[in-house]
Structure 1
């Protein structure tokens, strides 16, 4: 297993404030990782630490198995941790040509990266004519010029409208499909759920979870049941080992599942017990539900 980044007990204090509290996780090559948490949870500080722009109080991190220095590792990384900073009167191509000179990258990839982010047709337009979403896409293009092995993005969709958010998400997916590892920080649960394979959950600098998004909270969701005779249905629910607690609502009776659901079996068992179900719907727990439950457990 090849790890691009390994973090061990990384800790950062600003006076009496603990921004990052002894966190440890590893980033495996070829996946999309999200650092998820509300504002002030330590996401940006974590990125600053591993990009060598913030000095750790204690703890360590190493890039690419520790085989290269941090200085050399940064040459293999593409990162956007601040708002795009380009010359307003210069075109996209001119700005990227300047980035190539600074990075020592070949300008031969400019058109390719502009095409990837959907800006090829506007490559000769001045930067000042770009919308906020276009500016963010140009920043991503600039971060890809040196063909990085990992792309790091801090709140990549912050401030964008729904159309702009979707465009950035689609670009991230395209970059990942090409084999580039991605690490993004976000406070948006929906964003992490739609683009990330793995997640690190932070709250007040503490790490609450690290692992696959689809295994963040191992549960089986719930099932919404209804019948004309709800009293009989509730009695049936209480007799089933794989049906947990329930809550009566407008849509029916939502029941927590204790194992992988078999709706046909539930329907058959209810019928055999004298209850004819008028509704049976499996409801998977969203990442938002999981995140709220996780933070409740760790308060």
Structure 2
């Protein structure tokens, strides 16, 4: 089966700055990959290239088997930015009905989409009254209008409370189970570790590590040393309890 997203030796420069350096990765159907890295690591640049918004100098990028930015690629990819903007006077239902009409689909799908993201109860409320978590769910519902094979999410849970984050990832789990490939960026490893299949770490434009969390932990395993200072009169007892320890001149026992 052809991967939903394939990137091979991708390089992107902004004048003298090399924003991406020989990056290669694949994302299969129904898989969730988290793109992590510091500000300026190249996450947003990579996403813009995948979406076909900016060109690149060298390498190859295939989105659903075609070049990014083509009509075919755009029809199969959806994007949700960190802060999706909506007209505050529109209701959630009106927002979706508008874009369904532009696509030539039945506006009646709006309620089904809102129900899917848990917003049926607020369908006729103005978006200006929604919390950020609710607005993100409207945005996710809008991305589903085109039945995307690849969903690109830029910091989708930034600013959300813990319950809203959990609910949002529950929605993504359901989409992945149906076969949608998901690429999302985040700064928070602890947030994505249990809700993604692979973690991709960018630093200075390079893909410095990738794999499951367990694989990354094993690969980055560092020696750990524990220094124990015994209570007065307990040095011999401590040494007997931990014969593998190395006593120091100051009485501290080193356990490695």
Sort the Cα spacing of 1:89 and 1:18 in 2 relative to 1 into closer, same or farther, 3 A. same
Residue 273 of structure 1: aligned partner: none
Aligned-partner SS, 2:38: coil
Question: Bigger CA drift: 116-125 or 60-69?
Answer: 60-69
Greater relative contact order (Cα < 8 A, sep 6+): 2
Structure 2 gaps, min length 5: 229-233, 247-251
Separation in structure 2 between the aligned mates of residue 112 and residue 224 of structure 1, nearest angstrom: 56
Runs of 4+ in 1 over 4 A off after TM superposition: 219-226
- Number of equivalences: 243
User: Aligned residue for 1:232?
Assistant: 240
SS in 1 for 2:25: strand
Task: Spell out, residue by residue over 1:193-214, the C-alpha distance to the aligned partner (whole angstroms, 9 max, x if none).
Answer: 0211011110111111122333
Matched, 1:37 2:37: yes
Q: Secondary structure at the match of 2:113?
A: helix
Answer yes or no: is 1:3 the counterpart of 2:3.
yes
Taking structure 1 as reference, are residues 58 and 159 closer, same or farther at Cα in structure 2, changes over 3 Å only? same
Q: Which runs of 5+ in 1 are unaligned?
A: 239-246, 256-299
SS in 2 for 1:236: coil
Partner of 2:49: 49
Q: Which residue of 1 aligns with 2:173?
A: 173
In structure 1, C-alpha distance between the alignment counterparts of 2:238 and 2:12, rounded to whole Å: 55
Contact 1:40 1:204 (8 Å CA) reproduced: yes
Partner of 1:93: 93
CA distance change for structure 1 residues 76 and 207 in 2, over 3 Å: closer, same or farther? same
Query: Whole-Å Cα distance in 1 between the matches of residues 144 and 198 of structure 2?
Result: 22
> What residue number does 2:126 align with?
126
The secondary structure found in structure 2 opposite 1:38 is: coil
TM-score by length of 2: 0.84
RMSD: 2.9
SS in 1 for 2:194: helix
Describe the SS at the equivalent of 1:218: helix
Partners of 1:160 and 1:3 lie apart in 2 by: 31
Equivalent position SS for 2:152: strand
Cα drift, residue 79 of structure 1? 1.1
d(CA) in 2 for partners of 1:32 and 1:71? 24
Distance 1:85 1:248 in 2: 59
Aligned to 1:137: 137
Measure, in 1, the Cα distance between the counterparts of 2:23 and 2:151: 21
Paired residue secondary structure (1:153): strand
Taking the aligned partners of 1:75 and 1:235, their CA distance within structure 2 comes to: 66
2:201 matched residue in structure 1: 201
On the 8 A contact 1:35/1:184 being kept in 2, the answer is yes
Q: 1:248 to 1:16 in 2, by over 3 A?
A: farther
Residue correspondence of structure 1 range 1-299 to structure 2 within 5 A: 1-66=1-66, 70-218=70-218, 229-236=237-244
